Chain A
Amino acid sequence: MSGLPPEYLVYPHRRRGLDHDFYTHRNLAEAPRVAWPGGKPLALWVAVQAGHFPMDMGNKPFPMPGGTERPYPSYWDYTQRDYGNRIGIFRLIRALAARGVPATAFLSAVLAQRYPLLLRHIREAGWEVAAGGLDMGRPHHGGLPEAEERAMIREALDLLAGPDGARPKGWHSPGFSESMNTLPLLAEAGLSYVADWVNDDLPYPVTTKSGGLLAMPISWDMSDQRMLAQQHMATGDWVESVRRTMAVLRAEAEAAGGGRVLCLTITPWVMGQPHRIAALGALLDEILADGAVWPATGEAIAAHWQAQTG
C-alpha cells in the first residue's frame, strides 16, 4: 500500500490556540464577569428562527436542517414550514407578550418582501428584527464566491431595513453555515453580532480583517428544530433539557458572580403548533417564576455585554 500523500501528516496550524484567527480560545472560567440589569444571574434570550423554505430549494451543497425531505414538489414540506409564518409565529408572539418576554426574530429576508404584514406584526410586538440570510435555500458556504456572498448579505440587510431605515444588528446564517468570508463580510456590512458558532455559553469577540463582531451563544443542540423536528424527541424532552440547562447556568452564575445567557432557540413551524404552545407558555412561567432572569433581545444582550467588557 502506497499510503496517503506526505502532506497528510503535515499540520500547518498546530500551535497554541485555535487553527484559525476568527477568535481566541477562552475557557469558560476566564470569561469576563458581566452583571445583567437588576443583578439577575441569567439573561433570557428567545431566538426565533423564522425561515422561508422555497419549495425548489433542493439539498445542495448540503441538506439544510429542516429543509425539504421529500420529492419535488413537496407541498408537505413547503406548507408545513409556511404554516410557521402564517400561524405559528402568532402563537409565539402571543405567548411571549403575555409574559413580557421579547424575542429576536432571525428572519429569512425574503419574508419582508413576501409577507410585509408579518414584518409589521413582528415589529409591533417589539421583537428585534435580525437577519437570517435571504432564505433557507440560499446557504452561505465555502463554495460561494466572495462577491456573490457580499451581495447576498447586502440584499438581506436592505430587505429587512425598517420603516426608519434601521438595519438589523444581528445575523444568523441559514443552517448555521458560513464560508471563510462570512465573518469579515458581516463585519464589513456593519453588523454588531453573529449567532452561528455554537461553541460557548457566553458572548465572545470575533475579529476579522474588516472589523469586529460579537459572537452570541445561540443554542442549537437544544433547539426545538433539532430536538423535536430532526431528532423526533418529545416536547417534554425539550422542556426538561431547558430546565436542566437553567439550573446549571444559574448555579454557575451565582457561584462565579457573572451572568450567563439562557438561550431558547425556537421555530415557528415547530414550537408554534397547537399541541406545543402551552408547553412553551408553562416553561416560560417556570423560568420567570422567581425573578432570576432578565428577558432581553440579542441586540440588548450584546450591547450590554459590549458596554461592560469594552
Chain B
Amino acid sequence: MLSEPGHYDYAPYAGRPRITWPNGARIAFWVVPNIEHYELEPPPNARRMPWTRPIPDVLGYSHRDYGNRVGFWRMAEAMARHGVRGSVSLSCAVCDHYPEIIERCCELEWELFSHGTYNTRYFYGMSEDQQREVIRENRETILRASGQSLDGWLTPALSNDETTQHILAEEGILYTLDMLHDDQPMPVKTRAGALISIPYSLEVNDVPLFGMRNTPPARYAEICKAQFDQLYAEGAESGTVLCMPVHPYLVGTPQRLAAFEEVLAHVTGHEGVWLATGREIATWWKQHHLAEVQAWIEGLPA
C-alpha cells in the first residue's frame, strides 16, 4: 500500500503564480451534475459492497432512480433559468438506459465526462487493462451519444485504485477530479506525464450535506453561498475555482430545488464570475498557466 497518492508535490497557497481567468474573472464556477445509474443487482467488490442492504436494496435504488425520472428534469430547467451549464459526471451506461436525458444535456450544451460505466462498478481491485478497457469504452460511448470527446474523469464513487491516475494520463484524459487537495487547478504527476487536477468538492457536495450532515435546504444554500463568497474574495488576488457537485435525486426534489436556485442566483448575480465547464477550465489553465505553475513548483525549496 502507498502512504500517499504521490501525484503532487507540496505547493503552499501563499506565493503562487497569479491565475487569471477569461475576461478578468475572479472565479471559475462550475456545476457538476452527477447523472448516475446504480444497478439493482451489481456484482460484488471485495473492498466495497455497492448496497448497504441485501440485494435488492429497494430503498437505496429507488431513491437514486428518482433523479433520472424526476429530479434531473427539474434541476436542468433550474440551471437553464440561470444560464448555468452543467459538466456532467456521467455513469456512461445512462447513454443506453435513458438517452432522453443525454439529449437534453446536449441541447443545453452541457459537457459530458466520465464517472465510469455504472456507479456500482468500482475501480477498487481492477487490473490496469480492466481500467483501460472501461476508459476506452466510456470514450466511445460519450462520442457516440453526444459527439463529444472524453476529457474529464471522476472515478465511480471515488473508488480509484493506486494506478488509476497514471492510466488516465496514458489514455489521454485531460483532467481528473479524484483529488480534493486544492482550490486551483494543479498538475498531476503520473508516469505518463500531463494530467490536470481540477478542484471537485465534498464540502458543497449535496450527498455529504444532505445525506451525512443532515442539512436543511436553507442551510445548504447558506453553506454554498459562503463557500462562493470566500473564493470570490480570494479570486481578487488570483483566480480560484468553485465546483458545485449535485445529484438530481437530491437537489431535484421539491424541498431542495429553491435552495439550489438560490445558490445559482447568488453566484450569477456577481460580476467577474466565469460560468465554465470542466473542459473549459482545464483547457484554459493548461494553455495559460500549466508551464508557469509547474516551473514554480519545481523551483520551490525542498
Contacts and interface: CB of A to CB of B under 8 A. Distances in A.
Interface in B39-54: 39-41, 43, 45, 52-54
B96 A4 contact: no
Interface in A166-224: 173, 175-180, 182, 196-201, 220-222
Interface stretch (A93-101, A102-110, A244-252, A277-285): A244-252
B62 A198 contact: yes
B59 A1 contact: no
A307 interface: no
B70 A199 contact: yes
Contacts of B118: 11
Contact of A62 (B52, B130, B253, B256): B52
Contacts of B54: 61-62, 141-143
A222 B255 contact: yes
A170 to B, nearest CB: 16
Most-contacted residue by chain B among A3, A5, A19, A61 (CB, 10 A): A19
Q: Which of B41, B45, B56, B118 has the most CB of A within 10 A?
A: B56
Interface size class of B (residues with CB under 8 A): 35 or more
A14 B96 contact: yes
A2 B65 CA distance: 33
A18 B37 CA distance: 9
A248 B78 CA distance: 12
Contacts of A196: 58-59, 62
B98 interface: yes
A8 B125 CA distance: 11
* Dominant secondary structure of chain B at its interface with chain A: helix
Given A4-B125, A25-B69, A27-B73, A11 B40 contact: no
Contacts of A275: none
Main secondary structure of the interface of A (DSSP, over half): loop
B69 A199 contact: yes
A155 interface: no
Given A1-B127, A3-B129, A244-B258, A28 B70 contact: yes
A247 B258 contact: yes
B93 A9 contact: no
A5 B130 CA distance: 10
Nearest to B93: A14
B281 to A, nearest CB: 31
Contacts of A245: 253-255
Contact of B69 (A14, A26, A237, A246): A26
B254 A199 contact: no
B66 interface: yes
B20 interface: no
A240 B218 contact: yes
A28 B69 contact: yes
Contacts of A17: 97-98
Interface in B90-146: 93, 96-100, 117-118, 121, 125-130, 133-134
Given A9-B121, A13-B40, 11 more contacts: A3-B126, A8-B126, A11-B117, A17-B98, A28-B70, A62-B53, A142-B54, A175-B59, A199-B62, A241-B255, A247-B258
22 contacts: A3-B127, A4-B45, A4-B127, A9-B133, A11-B118, A14-B97, A18-B65, A28-B74, A62-B54, A196-B58, A197-B65, A198-B66, A200-B70, A227-B214, A231-B214, A233-B216, A240-B217, A244-B217, A244-B258, A246-B254, A247-B258, A248-B258
